[in-house]
Copies of this chain bind each other. A is one copy, B any other.
Amino acid sequence: MKKVGVAILGLGVVGGGTYKILAEHRDFYKKNHNLDIVVESVLERNIARAEALGVEASKIAGGMAEICSNPDVDIIIEVMGGVEPAKTFVLAALNAGKSVVTSNKELFCKYSFELEKAAKKNNCGLFYEASCVGGVPIIRALTDNLQGNKITSMIGIINGTTNYILTKMSCGGAAYSDVLKEAQKLGYAEADPTSDVEGYDAAYKLSILSSMAFHTKIPYTDIYREGITSVSSSDIFYGKQLGYALKLLAIGKNGANGIEARVHPAFIRAEHPLASVNDSFNAVYLTGDCVGEVMLYGRGAGAAPTASAIVGDVIYCATHSNYVYSAFNNTEKADPSVKFVTNFESAYYLRIAAKDKAGVLSKVTSVLSKNGISMERVVQEKDGVEGAVPLVIITHETHENSVKKAVADINATDIAKVEAVIRVVS
């Protein structure tokens, strides 16, 4: 039986969950994987927290140097989150010859170039399945299963907090701010929800996943990002009537014109498998030129699902020779040859407040038409406030810039104002 010593950096929600699972499953891993996985050390300033988990005092490290020089530690699990001190610690671990398993999407997204270099130099493993979409086996699917495909499209619901909020808004018709408060109470959203609700978290993950899918670095700074803070429940309602579900989507496309990478709220047809991914569930829907459509679905966050991915990486690391696999051409910045498409094609949902019934529809359609936009559906709602009549339009596929121009043109008229623009994924 092979003995595997691990150290856990940070005993927060995920770190604590990982500690518990490793302790409770020790015999299971002995029996089924011929591995005796032992937590040899933890790095946690909150001693009470470590003790509450049952960590022996002798295993609470005084600092990172102690862990790096501990010959009983083979694999270091980094679950601290954030860039520093996680980055310094991971580099120290790799330079000390320890393999690293991390759930840190922000760190990996921003510094994978540096981390991979250090891992290669020291011939250490560097595993990050837990960094994206929790327990959903997406990283290894990209590296070890679908790697024979040219992936043309990747659409993901990869943030649990926003999906929970949008699901609740969709079911109950409550306003964003009320649902956010409820989500914070239940622990589904953090006290400072910015990273989730503004789409940063999804953009970090999309950066990692699309880099792997398209075999070239997609920095998160090249990802168009728009959060859910200005989503109104009336748009969710109107969309539902038209057969759409509203989701915060992370979209990566690799086509003839270049690469698109964007995170924004979008309507998706109710029949699409992603439309019924609800609450805190996540899913990634991929299209490959050989495999066709594949969807991976599961819990994208939470202690145990994330720990499942971490422990999977630990067992993988312990049972395979120490190698570093570059899943993509991991340059520091985007390769200069990569063309990012910002004027992408999409259908659009427009909600327009029309001040005056007579003639307004013809005026609006004329503006759209001048911008080369044709309409698939138009619904003129009965109810309006303060004399404004809501006009809901679904366009055919058009270009982002054409819609921006058309919206400006409509707003420049004195009879109509565009109050919501939401992309529609076909």
Residues of A within 8 A of B (CB): 21, 25, 28-29, 31-33, 129, 134-137, 140-141, 144-150, 215, 273, 276, 288-299, 302, 304-305, 307-309, 311-312, 314-316, 319-321, 323, 325, 329
| Residues A291 and B315 in contact, CB atoms below 8 Å apart | no
Give the number of copies in the complex. Answer: 2
- Complex CA gap A385/B96 in Å reads 80
Given contacts A135-B294, A273-B276, A308-B290, contact A140 B148 (CB under 8 A): no
Assess the A292–B305 pair: CB atoms within 8 A: yes
8 tightest A-B CB contacts, nearest first = A148-B311, A135-B291, A137-B145, A291-B308, A294-B298, A290-B308, A295-B297, A32-B215
Task: Establish whether residues A146 and B291, one from each chain, have CB atoms under 8 Å apart when the complex forms.
Answer: no
In the complex, what's the smallest C-beta–C-beta distance from A394 to chain B, in angstroms?
23
- Assembled-state Cα–Cα distance A288/B137 (Å): 13
Q: Is the interface of A mostly helix, strand, loop or mixed?
A: mixed
**A135 cross-chain contacts in B, Cβ below 8 A:** 146, 288, 290-292, 294
Report whether A305 and B291 are in contact in the complex, using a CB–CB cutoff of 8 Å. yes
Q: B295, A298: Cβ atoms under 8 Å?
A: yes
Chain B residues with Cβ below 8 Å from A314 are: 148
Closest to A34 in B: B326
Check B273–A308 contact: CB distance below 8 A.
no
In the bound complex, do residue B325 and residue A148 qualify as a contact, i.e. CB atoms below 8 Å apart?
A: no
Provide the residues of chain B in CB contact with A297, threshold 8 Å: 273, 294-297
Contacts of A319 in B (CB 8 A): 325
21 contacts between A and B (CB under 8 A): A25-B148, A28-B150, A31-B215, A32-B147, A135-B146, A140-B144, A144-B312, A146-B308, A148-B307, A148-B311, A273-B276, A288-B308, A290-B304, A293-B299, A294-B296, A294-B299, A295-B295, A296-B297, A297-B297, A319-B325, A321-B323
Q: Which of B146, B148, B299, B315 contacts A148 (CB 8 A)?
A: B315
